Amino acid sequence: MAATSYGDPAQVVGPVDAAIPPPGPGQAVVDVRAAGVNPIDGKIVRGLFGTDPAALPRRIGSEVSGVVTAVGAGARYFAPAEADRREIHAGDEVIVYRAIGGYAEALLADADSVHPKPATLPFPTAAGLLLVGVTAADLVGAAKITGSDTVVVHGGAGAVGAIAVQLARRRGATVIATAAPRNHEFLAGLGAVPVAYGTGVAQRIHAAARRPVTAALDTAGTDEAIDASLDLGISPARIVSIAAFGRGTDGIVIVDGSTADSRRRRSAAIGGLIADATSGELTVEIAKTFPLEQAGQALAELAGPHSRGKFVLLP
């Protein structure tokens, strides 16, 4: 599936025939069993990152799970330490992140993006794990969250926010999470103290906190979230956002995977995220699955009000 032009995903995303070449050195061919659907995919299709006609048809999808069908010479799994890398074999169940053109029945992947998938981790969960997981890990790591912190997670019920809540709790922090009231029970189940966002949110966060709030993890990107964090007296250096790009002049920290530190934190988190999702210590919600041919519909639906959790395509 690919975008044949730029615009409404429901109108411009459709099937495109493309042959998969044999894998070269350090590559593997993966039969896709599930593909994660993410907001950035829709932004690409709508042309928010450029409308170069030469890039069409635009292949989309950055995370998949599947089974290896062919392996090139010297293909070894990603690992932070070179000595820990092991060979990829045909028949292995894997996660590919970052994939290129993951909305597909099969894809050619560089081994550096291929990670072993435990057999007990379902394919849909595996396909929806890593993009949000490494983003949340980057937030928590950049804010240097410890057990002595009281941290607010803005947008705590979102796909990234829910993982950030869990990772901060794993470090021993007290977590307050903003969300719509319908998601408060869910957040309480993750160990957070839920509060409603909207007018007066800073006062509600303050009332919910037993100690001063020392850090903020922002997945919402709204002025309300950043203003509330500053109003709570949190140091701008410990207000970390993945979305408030217009507020950098306030001294807050923006993480987007573009710096060496951000990339290091994201890479280092992959193994632990897979292990914790497999053991059940990390909850990854799948809101809805779609057949691959409904990829455009999935992207259109994701851009509007939708159920909590990740959307996943099933080829």
Fold agreement between 2-129+285-314 and 132-254: no
Listed residue (294, 299, 129, 155) closest to 224, CA to CA = 155
Task: Assess contact for 171 and 147: CB atoms under 8 A.
Answer: yes
pLDDT per residue over 150-160, tens digit each? 999 999 999 99
108 token code pair: 């050619």
Which DSSP category does 76 fall into?
B
The ranges assigned to domains in the chain are: 2-129+285-314, 132-254
Q: How far is CA 3 from the centre of its chain?
A: 22
| DSSP codes of every residue in 198-214 | STTHHHHHHHH-SS---
pTM: 0.96
pLDDT per residue over 114-150, tens digit each? 999 999 999 999 999 999 999 999 999 999 999 999 9
Name 31's Cβ contacts closer than 8 Å, sequence gap at least 6: 66, 67, 68, 69, 105, 106
State how far the alpha carbon of 143 is from the alpha carbons of 71, 158, 307, in Å: 39, 19, 29
Checking DSSP bridges between strand 286-291 and strand 310-314, what pairing results, if any? parallel
Report the CATH number of the 132-254 domain. Answer: 3.40.50.720
Task: Assess contact for 279 and 255: CB atoms under 8 A.
Answer: no
Task: Assess contact for 270 and 115: CB atoms under 8 A.
Answer: yes
110 token code pair: 């560089």
Report the CATH number of the 2-129+285-314 domain. Answer: 3.90.180.10
Identify residue 205 by its one-letter amino acid code. I
pLDDT at 225 over 90: yes
pLDDT per residue over 49-107, tens digit each? 999 999 999 999 999 999 999 999 999 999 988 889 999 999 999 999 999 999 999 99
